[in-house]
Homo-oligomer: A and B are copies of this chain.
Amino acid sequence: MVRAVTLKDIARETGVHVSTVSRALDPRARDSLTDEVVARVTETAQRLGYRPNRLAAGLRTKRTKTVGLIIPDITNPLFPPIVRGVESVLEPAGYVSIIVNTDGRRDRERFQMQVLMERGVDGVVHAAVERDDPYFDDIRQQSLPIVTVNRALDFDGVPGIVNDEAAGITAMFRLLHDAGHRRIAHIAGPQQLSTGVERLEAFRAAARDYGLDVPEYYISRSEMFVFEEGYRCAEQLLSLAKRPTAILAANDRLALGAMRAIDDQGLSCPEDVSVTGFNDSDYLELIKPGLTTVRVDKTGVGQRAAETLIAMLENPEAERPKRIVMPIEAVTRESVAPPKAD
């Protein structure tokens, strides 16, 4: 930190008291002062290059205009656009964010939450929640405002901005079914994440709606939303006697892993096996075959999350939304084709 211009300096310079300077610089208190004083103070502040010390203000007011942003891993391409969305709303409102990574580990989640509390964050945008984080009870008791984004908690009380998982999965299922597929397998996401369970449930529901009886061995559960797990699960599915003709993966990274596995087995996508993803990650348009997937508005969820949090901060009494579901869009590329005749 660095010696900076303070209210005291301006007070000395203008010949008024510090508290007057403080008022003159506060839009809400300004009108109790003479226009002349306000003008002199603001001019001097400008001239001296005054910048408020947020630490001191925060110490006094208990509001730091800082929010925590908890994400699993910034190198996962899903999150940078969410982060930008959050910040695009925070910045004009005068907030900054402190970003912390959990790497999907619960102990780190708790630890990082403590780190944020030490810094006196006004609230938290949480993009790394697991369905049943037990420590959330504590958090709620401390009444620290939290909004989850992309994922949701199993219980209410914490607003969550999520995507329309059901619509997305249904759209992918329909695409595959319409192309003629009847042996459709699912690579499910981790079941401790809301996205994992909801997409699996939606898959089952879609199958039911289409009157398709999907055997249990057509559902392969991944441990994490990563390429390697997609590869592993796809290998399993492809080795089945009754090989599926299509794989509906719970996200893009799983889908990419599956595509690689298909390739490595001497098969090809989409001729032998069709594949779909979820998220529409940024770089997907560059790969071949283009992955048919569900586009989610990553920036949008981030923005909504930030807006929701700020609303909670500026108006603590207002009723909090429970869950905001954002619309999705199906993106058709080349990874889906009709199944080969048997």
Contacts and interface: CB of A to CB of B under 8 A. Distances in A.
A64 B1 contact: yes
A119 interface: yes
A84 B73 CA distance: 8
A76 to B, nearest CB: 8
A118 B73 CA distance: 27
Contacts of A143: 2
A51 B286 contact: no
A310 to B, nearest CB: 15
Nearest to A141: B2
Interface of A: 1-2, 4, 51-56, 58-59, 62-64, 66, 73-75, 77, 80-81, 83-84, 87, 96-101, 114-115, 117-122, 142-144, 256, 282-283, 286-288
A122 B83 CA distance: 24
Contacts of A80: 74-75, 80
B115 A96 contact: yes
Contacts of A121: 1
20 contacts: A1-B64, A1-B120, A1-B121, A2-B142, A4-B117, A53-B118, A53-B120, A55-B58, A55-B59, A55-B119, A56-B59, A73-B84, A74-B84, A75-B80, A75-B282, A77-B77, A77-B282, A96-B100, A96-B115, A96-B119
Contacts of A118: 51-54
Contacts of A83: 74
A74 B75 contact: no
Given A1-B62, A286-B256, A101 B87 contact: yes
Contact of A287 (B51, B75, B115, B287): B287
Contacts of A115: 96
B283 A1 contact: no
Given A74-B80, A74-B83, A96-B98, 4 more contacts: A1-B63, A2-B143, A54-B119, A99-B99
Nearest to A286: B287
B74 A74 contact: yes
Contacts of A87: 100-101
A47 to B, nearest CB: 15
Contacts of A256: 286
Nearest to A95: B115
A307 to B, nearest CB: 19
Contacts of A99: 97, 99
A77 B283 CA distance: 10
B101 A98 contact: no
